[in-house]
Amino acid sequence: MRTGITFDVAAGDRVRLEAIVAAPTSAQKHVWRAKIILMSGDGSGTVAIMEATGKSKTCVWRWQERFMTEGVDGLLRDKSRPPGIAPLDGELVERVVALTLETPQQEATHWTVRAMAKVVGIAASSVVKIWHEHGLAPLA
């Protein structure tokens, strides 16, 4: 288990943090982050900080660590995250459309969503989306 983190908050940092807490226009996520650091600087334990802010132990530790490495500026920005799922490649979409307009190679009379997804190597939901966007509904 992790032991308590103690650190001193410089006077300049304390002024900035107190201003964040006092300002009515501050984003609430910045307010509770500032409160975590101010309470830590005052010597409050993790449990007391958790109770006062309503945040988890790991959350308190994360922001204490961020403050120690990046200062007040580190509290005022979120870490960047990788982008979500990339859009489907245009060639892949064209392949799905072209295959849909052809007769399947199996003994089937038309393409099913699952069969198309398996042949092309994408999710069935992506096939449905492509068919819907192109007004396709493979029927027997």
pLDDT in tens, the chain (140 residues): 456 667 789 999 999 999 999 999 999 999 999 999 999 999 889 999 999 999 999 999 999 999 999 999 999 988 777 778 888 888 999 999 999 888 887 778 888 899 999 999 999 999 999 999 999 877 54
Half-sphere exposure of 13 (CA within 13 A, CB side): 20
pTM over 0.75: no
Tokens 């819907």: give the residue: 132
In this prediction, residue 102 carries a pLDDT of 86
Q: How far apart are CA 39 and CA 36, in angstroms?
A: 5
What is d(CA 14, CA 34) in angstroms, rounded to the nearest whole number? 9
Q: What is the pLDDT of residue 61?
A: 93
Q: Residue ranges per domain, the chain?
A: 11-75, 90-133
Ranges of H-type helices in the chain: 11-22, 28-41, 46-53, 57-75, 90-101, 113-120, 124-133
pLDDT of the residue at 87: 84
CA angle (24, 29, 31) in 5-degree steps: 45
Amino acid at 35: K
